[in-house]
Structure 1
């Protein structure tokens, strides 16, 4: 895929996501939470990093509520100014209910406290624009997750997407960080050899 084709793909998928009615988005958010609840990787995880949906992604509110209810440690990303990598801030139920977050210049909500390294997470739930059957992922274009995961980390990488975001094939660049699995409203799929491609 050429840089121009990738740019067009990003534009198309952003537009398609934004066009989804709120009802469909909320329904997708509930479905992925129900599917994730049945997965061993979620049941066993104690420290879970997850994004707050802000740009038409699959809503994560139901997953966050589920994790807090099960007394898991839920962490939201925060962009470090010094190196543009993500650090992870643990939130509690009260903070979540009161929405005590600041707004980053890019438009997403961030917790205000100090964060921890991605190395401390068991499960990392990642947003994306496109994915393929090999675990390759196209993000929003900022490269925050790729920079953060550049060296090997133990966190299980789970992409969260709508079914229409799957494409046939994505050429992986050396800096692109693959997924361990993908979760959509219709299913959960593992990529056993994702990191070897």
Structure 2
């Protein structure tokens, strides 16, 4: 895929996501949460990193509610200014219910407390624009997740996506970080055998 083709793919998928009705997005969020609840990967994990949906991605509210209900430790990403990597800030139920987050200049919201390394997470739920059958991922273009995951980490990498975001084949650069699985409203697509979880 040429840079021009990738640019066009990004544009098309952004437009397709934005064109979804709010009700359709909300239903997708509930469905992925229902599917995830049946996965061992959720129940084995204690420390879960997840994003706050802000750009027409699959909504994450239902998953966050589920994680808190199951007494999981839930962390949201925070962009570290000096190296543009992500740190992970734990939120409690009260903070989540009151939506006590700061606005970032890129358009999303993030917590402002001190964060931890991604290496402390068991399960990392990631946004994406496109994925293929090999687990390759195209993000929004900022490279935050690729930089953060450049070295090997234990976290199980789970992408959230709509079915139409699956591409035929994506070119994976050396710095592109692959996924272990993608969860869509139709179910789980696994690319690797399930990892063992570390209990921390």
TM-score (norm 1): 0.97
1:70-122, Cα deviation, whole Å (9 max, x unpaired): 11000000000010000000000000000000000001000010000000000
2:85 equivalent in structure 1: 85
1:192, distance to aligned residue in structure 2 (A): 1.7
Give the SS at the match of 2:169: coil
Give the 3-state SS of the residue equivalent to 1:107 in structure 2. coil
Question: For 1:19 and 1:78, how far apart are their aligned partners in 2?
Answer: 28
Q: Where do 1:1-197 residues align within 5 Å?
A: 1-192=1-192
RMSD between aligned residues: 0.7
SS at match of 1:75: strand
**Secondary structure in 2 matching 1:145:** helix
CA distance in 2, matches of 1:187, 1:112: 33
Q: How many residues align?
A: 193
Shift of 1:57: 0.2
Q: Aligned equivalents of 2:79 and 2:52: distance in 1?
A: 13
> Partners in 2 of 1:116 and 1:15 — Cα distance?
34
Secondary structure in 2 matching 1:188? strand
SS at match of 1:87: strand
Task: Give distance in 1, aligned partners of 2:69 and 2:53.
Answer: 19
Which runs of no fewer than 5 residues in structure 1 stay unpaired?
none
Alignment gaps of 5+ in structure 2: 194-200
Whole-Å Cα distance in 1 between the matches of residues 115 and 126 of structure 2?
17
- Three-state SS of the structure 2 residue aligned to 1:8 is helix
> Secondary structure of 1:182's partner?
strand
The secondary structure found in structure 2 opposite 1:113 is coil
